[in-house]
Structure 1
Amino acid sequence: MGGALLHRWHAAGLADINVIDPSPHALPAGVAAAAAPPPGAGPDVLVLAVKPQLFAAASAGLAERLRPDTLVISVMAGVTCAGIIERLGDRPIVRTMPNTPARLGQGVTALFGHGADAAQCARAEALLAAAGTTVWLDHEDQFNAVTGLSGSGPAYVFAFIEALTEAGIAHGLSPALAATLARATVTGAAALAAEPDADPAALRVAVTSPGGTTAAGLSVLVDRLRPLMADTVAAATARSRELG
């Protein structure tokens, strides 16, 4: 996720980016990485984009390199503001949860501020807006559900495309044709659902003729899909809570 954001910021012309990564790969042209923070007065903004299990090791010795007013932006799943303060001290924080379509500028990012003033929140939102839509949360504990829904959600869609492809193959389509049809169907339907004022339920009804083929398929899918998605999001939400 850090790499996806970095590429968006680089493409937008953001300057003065210092990447801290002992094992960098696939960096944008002209962007270098170092194993430790550069010397100096400390950054205006620190973006924490590491796996939550690695945060303790990655943050060792980092607090003394920061200014009291350094804005900390976290994209770590499950790590609370309190957990960040424990490692880096009490300073302005904006927690975020983007998702992987951020790489194309079509992601959605939830944000929550702790100790950050209006200007710092606006700065964080401007940075994450390069990745797509932004929404602000009222309570930090909503992050677990956000992680379970939109943070992990792209993988659910990819799994659906895989399953739709396999179903087409099972009914006689070639793998290449089934894959093309499945991908184009999902992306096209998503584009319709993304139109202003679109209602997915109304779109579903509009394409479902009584007694037709779509109705036959939905008669099998809907009753299984809703409890399955509820369980899927619940499992991811619970794991986010455990990571915190």
Structure 2
Amino acid sequence: MTSAPDQQLSGLALVGGGKIGEALLSGLTRRPGAAEGIVVVERSAERAADLAQRYGVRALDLAEAAAACRVLLVAVKPQDVDALLTSLAPHVGAGHLVVSVAAGVPTARVEAALPPGTPVVRVMPNTPALVDEGMSVLSPGAHATEAHLDEAEALLSAVGQVRRVPEKQQDAVTALSGSGPAYFFYLVEAMIDAGILLGLPRALAADLIVQTALGAATMLRDSGEHPVQLREAVTSPGGTTIAAIRELERHGVRAALIAAIEAAHDRSVELGR
């Protein structure tokens, strides 16, 4: 086994260059000078070279990255995590910090594949990290200290907001914020289609809906009011909005959305097994 690094070893290795990995890489490298301390590990040599060129980082293999970097941000698909951890195990130890963003994979499963005492922090990020508006949620493994959590939080806060939860809540987090951007994109897609149906050009319909979504999200964040209060402020008696809300309720949109999020939660639990 490669000896564990001492605490003087620094740097960050991003292991996995898929969509969420690239979203994190993009946000992290926007900080002045940050790219110098980041390396990327990607099994596709072509993909590794592309990421290295676009973001100004070095591409290394897994053993080299573990030798060079203390923090390893594992951003592979859940179905690939076991093979990755088997390859990583000979090169890490208690002096490393493994931050896993593999959806649904519990810290106990990661720890079992690595040398005893390896600190692991589980994170559920989402793709708005690409524009520094991500939502990342952290949970510590058995060997992760408060200092490790602070380190992971400082890392992820570069690409958005960060919260901490007990690990038992992570499947719900995955269903809400991890998958959440897709729900909004789906809703916006449907609203744009409605605009086209009503005779608007696609570009105009998109501009109207995207700005409306941005404004509504800002009001939700900044007003301090409950969503019901904000909705009621738009809903005049006998007006257009209440007619639309009636149709949404008639078609069971609220129930369908709740069921969809429950399905995402159940799938996250399955992936963890």
Normalising by structure 2, report the TM-score: 0.84
1:21-60 → structure 2 map (5 Å cutoff):
21-23=42-44, 24=48, 25-27=50-52, 28-38=54-64, 41=67, 43-60=69-86
1:93 and 2:120 are equivalent in the alignment: yes
Aligned to 1:197: 224
Residue 29 and residue 99 in structure 1: after superposition, are their counterparts in 2 closer, same or farther (change >3 A)? closer
1:6 and 2:44 are equivalent in the alignment: no
The answer to which of 67-76 and 143-152 deviates more is 67-76
Aligned to 1:125: 153
Conserved in 1, the CA contact under 8 Å of 2:26 and 2:55? no
| Counterpart-to-counterpart distance in 1, 2:229 and 2:179 | 25
CA deviation map 1:201-243 (0-9, x unaligned):
1111111111111111111114522101111101111111110
| Counterpart-to-counterpart distance in 2, 1:126 and 1:96 | 13
Aligned to 2:38: 17
| Counterpart-to-counterpart distance in 1, 2:69 and 2:199 | 58
Structure with the larger helix share: 2
Instruction: Return 5+ residue gaps in structure 2 as ranges.
Output: 1-19
**Once the 2 structures are TM-superposed, how far is the Cα of residue 18 of structure 1 from its aligned partner?**
2.0
SS in 1 for 2:191: helix
Aligned letter for 1:32? R
Aligned letter for 1:124? A
CA deviation map 1:8-51 (0-9, x unaligned):
22111324222111222344432121233317756321111101
Residue 37 and residue 119 in structure 1: after superposition, are their counterparts in 2 closer, same or farther (change >3 A)? same
| Counterpart-to-counterpart distance in 1, 2:232 and 2:122 | 38
Aligned to 2:256: 228
| Counterpart-to-counterpart distance in 2, 1:177 and 1:38 | 50
Aligned letter for 2:210? R
Aligned to 1:158: 185
Aligned letter for 1:16? G
CA deviation map 1:64-105 (0-9, x unaligned):
211322111011101111110122233111100011111111
> Kindly, what percent of the aligned residue pairs are identical?
42
CA deviation map 1:164-201 (0-9, x unaligned):
01111112222222222222221221121121523211
SS in 2 for 1:11: coil
Aligned letter for 2:198? H
Aligned letter for 2:248? L
| Counterpart-to-counterpart distance in 1, 2:138 and 2:66 | 29
Residue 229 and residue 241 in structure 1: after superposition, are their counterparts in 2 closer, same or farther (change >3 A)? same
Aligned to 2:198: 171
Aligned letter for 2:23? A
Q: Size of the alignment, in residue pairs?
A: 243
Root-mean-square deviation (CA), in Å?
Answer: 1.7
| Counterpart-to-counterpart distance in 2, 1:11 and 1:75 | 20
Instruction: Return 5+ residue gaps in structure 1 as ranges.
Output: none
Conserved in 2, the CA contact under 8 Å of 1:147 and 1:236? yes
CA deviation map 1:98-128 (0-9, x unaligned):
1111111111111101221121110010001
SS in 2 for 1:67: coil
| Counterpart-to-counterpart distance in 1, 2:65 and 2:222 | 48
Aligned to 2:104: 78
